[in-house]
Chains A and B, each alone.
Chain A
């Protein structure tokens, strides 16, 4: 394949972007477009498939093949695109309502099959397009138009669902952090199989500041753990804090306190097939822990679309039936020779002459 030179402009469409001013979606799209421009594959090989919701307007603003489908079904439509042409780079743009509620079934099964898709999950913990109802990722007690007295249900943690569905790739990023976003999108695109990137996204209108406790510059260093493959899990303004495993649980420690050195800190291995540490990293959060960002899990497993192609190739190598004509006369057939008067079953009205 010849290396293509693209810039971010090549991926922007002429359509006016209509997200609210200040919406986190702008930054996410920027990161996706930069990632695509750098991937070195022909632009016509990208297909961006979305469901319904604010984030799902994404394909309109992309100068690639795009399909804005129906609520919750983007992963299923994208699976069909990928199976039809495994050569494509297929991206799914979805939100917490689209993927976790109405499309929950497609979400977990797409991950279980390890279909080679790049799923970008915009998590703003609210239904924005329908103007502010709580979502499956809203915290218990969250007040919204449809929960004026607070919700009485617990939220999904998307990464837990991914691990539970035997997911092979999960990453988390924040809308405003272009560097981390671009890095995880690149790795997601490189991963063969279902990649899920959860983007903590701010809805400036209906849920402004939902992730502020994590993203606030004042506390950011203490509340964000940016994971890097093969590196110790350190955080804090001076990288003075880290994670260790104690009695099977994660624990925050301070370097130099109680004799802890950097050598005691857990080293991140996203490629470990055992998901238990990944699950702990996904699940941890404020106030006792920082939130984990970066590629949390990235393991190899056969991708469905590749397996489908391989199986067809294998069967075809020793096939006896090579075309439909072969098929039609395969198995039990018999010849009628003798003087027939014609039963004409292939005619549209065989018994017309019924005199």
Chain B
């Protein structure tokens, strides 16, 4: 390595990109895991098409995976990629706009045929010129033919051989960034344990890619990114959907109740159903229902019968569940509803991220129908907020909507795993005294009723969707309806004592307060960090608790000259704040493109406000 040119970097973003059948998600995930294993902090962002197999070679079928890693704390997958791995011309076309000026493009030159250029809608045979990428460092590597050559003695058919070409690209990138291959080798060995020829061929190609890099180092520099300085402990990579599933498991264990999930597959939330279906060992009951409505109503039945009941979905599914959420509000049952938001309306952009379901979560039901609303902010803290959602539901007998999004659900980061003993306690409100029990008798302060379920002797009672009196019988009395309506709202507001105060990241006062909620945290904190490094007087207040809002929200806001609410919708949280925390001039920064914010555009927006 002595004569190799080695560049040291603080952080690097790499984008793996190819046809949706090229295995780019696996390649990106393996590189990310190997990188995290080395001690770098990482943040990942899979960006894939909604068609499982869009026509091969077309821009619509391009699947991408971006990972940023560094020696400091990494909060986003990076606005732009330093290095792009492109397996075909369509990948160039789809990703040109995500490249950092002067970045490096490694591409499979074998795939740049006239036919493929045409499929990607290039009109000339100069794709880089067409995409305005002339000034980039381009490295042509005949990946397909080198893979074929490397595997010629394995007796594999052409299709199987070409399936391994992603390993060549991975080996090459590992060399570029000084990643050892052992982690990836171990993965291949265990994943394909029953198919030794697959293990051997993939490892061979992986090494061929690595060695190819070693041999061509006169052409390209190798990069070193030192490990990040992070807290001691046991770490793992986790994505938001898995973290959500595991947070629910932890809550059930902590509360001493069984976990029931009623759900219907929907992108990008399905992975939570998958992750919990795998956990029969922990006694989870997962029920793939016939539709979204049966997903939530089965969960409501399970809640009635004493389980920690959960339903998981994405925007269109939440719409289908709205009547049933109203039933859970009326019946006052503990229920967790997870909405992994995606681009809307209607089917919208199933695989893309957005924050446009906030109003639906708050108000998308008939009648006065208040629920508690939480939002997770990073892939790993989905664990904590899923746990917290369950805690609130069980302790306050109220439905809780947890909002995550496609960016959090699919994105991953290293996570220092907690111990269950360190998590807050959960005490479900299980009824104890049958002689005084009434279905809707409540705690005077927190207004929660007690939970008694079938099988508990002498606690027989009735609940339902009709307005009722304290014993659960139907009541159409006008005063009673007003009183119960007030109680249902006040019960949600009382949850504020489980909501920590809003903290500002930066200073407690200043020129501009950036306000965000949910999955934009990584981009907002990076933006504020960079602006502060430039000497700007900017701080961040990021919300995990939407309803009820933290008690000190007004105090925090009042200490700043300007407030700008940044969200991936047309201003839903800003409208909510205008309603619930009036008296401030809320500026807005909005984006609805199915993509996360970029730090670059956020800085532009905030700088403009600073200058005004």
Contacts and interface: CB of A to CB of B under 8 A. Distances in A.
A65 B306 CA distance: 13
Interface string B313-335: 00000000001101100010000
B503 interface: yes
Given A59-B464, A67-B331, A81 B234 contact: no
A311 interface: yes
Contacts of A343: 41, 73, 228, 230-231, 416
A313 to B, nearest CB: 9
A257 interface: no
B291 A88 contact: no
Interface string B281-311: 1110101011101100111111111110100
Given A327-B282, A341-B229, A334 B294 contact: no
B250 interface: yes
B301 A70 contact: no
Interface stretch (A194-202, A262-270, A276-284, A345-353): A345-353
B33 interface: yes
A80 B297 contact: yes
Interface residues of B, number: 95
A351 B413 CA distance: 16
A130 interface: no
Given A76-B293, A333-B236, A316 B283 contact: yes
Interface in B37-90: 37, 39, 41, 73
Given A80-B299, A315-B280, A320-B281, A88 B532 contact: no
A325 to B, nearest CB: 5
B26 interface: no
A348 B503 contact: yes
Contact of B249 (A109, A324, A349): A324
Contact of B298 (A15, A62, A80, A333): A80
User: B interface, by DSSP: helix, strand, loop or mixed?
Assistant: mixed
A123 B237 CA distance: 56
Given A43-B460, A65-B454, A343-B416, A77 B304 contact: yes
A237 interface: no
Contact of A44 (B297, B417, B455): B455
A341 B231 CA distance: 6
Contacts of A339: 229
B463 interface: yes
B348 interface: no
Interface in A310-355: 311-312, 315-316, 319-325, 327-329, 331-346, 348-349, 351-352, 354
B506 interface: yes
B465 A69 contact: yes
Interface of B: 33, 36-37, 39, 41, 73, 183, 187, 227-237, 246, 249-250, 253, 258, 260, 262, 279-283, 285, 287, 289-291, 293-294, 297-307, 309, 323-324, 326-327, 331, 378, 380-381, 384, 413, 415-420, 453-466, 473-474, 500, 503-506, 525, 528-529, 532, 539-540, 542, 544
16 contacts: A65-B453, A66-B462, A66-B463, A68-B464, A68-B465, A73-B293, A76-B294, A80-B260, A84-B285, A106-B297, A109-B294, A327-B279, A334-B235, A339-B229, A343-B416, A348-B503
Given A73-B293, A76-B297, A79-B294, 9 more contacts: A44-B456, A83-B301, A84-B258, A85-B306, A322-B282, A328-B417, A332-B187, A334-B37, A338-B39
